Amino acid sequence: MKFSPPLVGGNPYEELVYNSRNNMKRIAIIGGGISGLAVLYYLKQRFADTVEITLFERQSRVGGTIHSVRLGDGLFESGPNGFLDHRGLILELIRELDLEDQLIDANPQAKHRYIQFNGRLYPVPMDPLTFITTPLLSPGAKCRLIAGLLKKDISPNQSIHQYVSKRFGPLVAEHLADPFISGIYAGDSRHLHMASTFPKMFALKKKKSGRMRMRSFKNGMGQLIQALYARYTPYIKTSAEITSLKTINADCIVCATPAYVAAQILSDTSADLSTALSQISYAPVAVAGVVLNQKAFKQQPQGFGYLILPKENKEVLGVLIESNVFAQRSPQGQVMIRVMLGGAHHPAIINDSEPQILAKALKELEATYGLKEKPLHAVVKMWPKAIPQYELNYPLLRQAIAHALAQTPHVYLCANYLDGISFHDCIHNAQSIAGSMAFP
């Protein structure tokens, strides 16, 4: 099915509508985050120039939530700071883009992660000794956790909090799962659906992932985005916001925008699809980046950083010591830190001004590490709809989306609100969509 562009006078998208110069099939990708760019990459791998492919991006730059910017002589990641290398797909993409020599590995000391409880930092119990000695769990809770390893018959069709409580005990849910979910997914473990948030854990055929390494690039995650952009510039239109499919003439459309945008774009194509997409909720995240002199701390920040128990009721979700993870992120003698605030527990963060957020971040650092000096540089990035939340109604929404998509065979969806939020998930999904695309 083809959409006829409304070539009427004054159509603001007129210049975006590419005319049929030949009989080539045409694919339009809407959204130039990693999902859209990866779809473009895999479609080009598959079709080369036998199909006309154009990517439309609303902003003047591509990358979406991936954005690496200079902060003083350091580098600030306003979105993801790295990815877990599963050794397969991403590495192939990186090799093919000739970026392998730009890869950097997380510092081994970054494996030391902490949880803040009653204002104090405790190591995450990852090895037998810390497990035995951690005050995060009572002796009874430790026994329940060990016993839970054998309980494999608990249904994942419930909230993460319920699942973990039933399997490993309520203290494990509160003191280990909750800070992890709040810090990594910006979510509330009582509202997120276990099987949907961790689909791979419950997949019938599990792939062996082996040991995963956290990695990034010398110039940050944005380096991969730049490499994709440089390769495909002629096929990418930036500052090109799409509001309806009526403005695009293509045989297939890949919508790689957030769900609430896709809901709007697809509203006159499929009301059912649009309704389901509009119900996917997002949590906000504010990221404060600060560069401090190494000597500015009374107590030197150690390891990867820390997550905070949601029951401490702090707006800060976690603190990442970026330059401990990737030394390249700040010059010698300086420390780059990112403080994450808000999430599903504190959605009102979006009403704060940048100075207010920075003040909250510095107050947290002062309380934990003691600050003797002001930061050398600071920046705040607000993501009002940062991370999609796979809530308890997600299985029903997912089913409704799949059903509606089956009725609109020329439309494909690829974004982090489907099948996983991580950078790796987005690339994986892009590959499978590009591979399965068929022209109606």
Ligand X SMILES: Cc1cc2nc3c(=O)[nH]c(=O)nc-3n(C[C@H](O)[C@H](O)[C@H](O)COP(=O)(O)OP(=O)(O)OC[C@H]3O[C@@H](n4cnc5c(N)ncnc54)[C@H](O)[C@@H]3O)c2cc1C
Which residue, 32 or 375, has its beta carbon nearer to ligand X?
32
CB distance 340 to 287 below 8 Å = yes
Asked if 59 touches ligand X (CB under 6 A), the answer is yes
Asked if 250 touches ligand X (CB under 6 A), the answer is no
Which tokens belong to 288?
A: 């404060």
Name the one range near ligand X by CB under 6 A: 158-166, 329-337, 345-353, 381-389: 381-389
CB distance 188 to 311 below 8 Å = no
**Rounded to the nearest whole angstrom, what is the least distance from the CB of residue 53 to ligand X in the complex?**
15
Among 192, 387, 401, 437, binds ligand X (CB under 6 A): 387
Which residue, 5 or 33, has its beta carbon nearer to ligand X?
33
DSSP 198: S
Site residue total, ligand X (CB under 6 A): 37
Asked if 287 touches ligand X (CB under 6 A), the answer is yes
Which tokens belong to 11?
A: 């159509």
Asked if 289 touches ligand X (CB under 6 A), the answer is no
Asked if 386 touches ligand X (CB under 6 A), the answer is yes
Asked if 31 touches ligand X (CB under 6 A), the answer is yes
Which residue, 32 or 310, has its beta carbon nearer to ligand X?
32
Among 16, 39, 52, 64, binds ligand X (CB under 6 A): 64
Read out DSSP for 210-238? -S-EEEEETT-THHHHHHHHHHHGGGEE-
Report the first-to-last Cα separation within the chain, whole angstroms.
6
Which residue, 34 or 276, has its beta carbon nearer to ligand X?
34
Asked if 145 touches ligand X (CB under 6 A), the answer is no
Which residue, 134 or 247, has its beta carbon nearer to ligand X?
247
How far apart are alpha carbons 280 and 164 in whole angstroms?
24
Burial class (CB in 10 A: 0-12, 13-18, 19+), 148: middle
CB distance 121 to 368 below 8 Å = yes
Site for ligand X in 99-128 (CB under 6 A): none
Residue ranges in 53-118 assigned as alpha helix (H): 89-96
Asked if 82 touches ligand X (CB under 6 A), the answer is yes
Neighbouring-strand partners of residue 47: none
Helix axes 139-148, 160-168, angle to 10 degrees: 100
List residues near ligand X by CB under 6 A: 30-36, 56-59, 64-66, 79-83, 241-242, 256-258, 261, 285, 287, 383, 386-387, 415-416, 421-424, 426
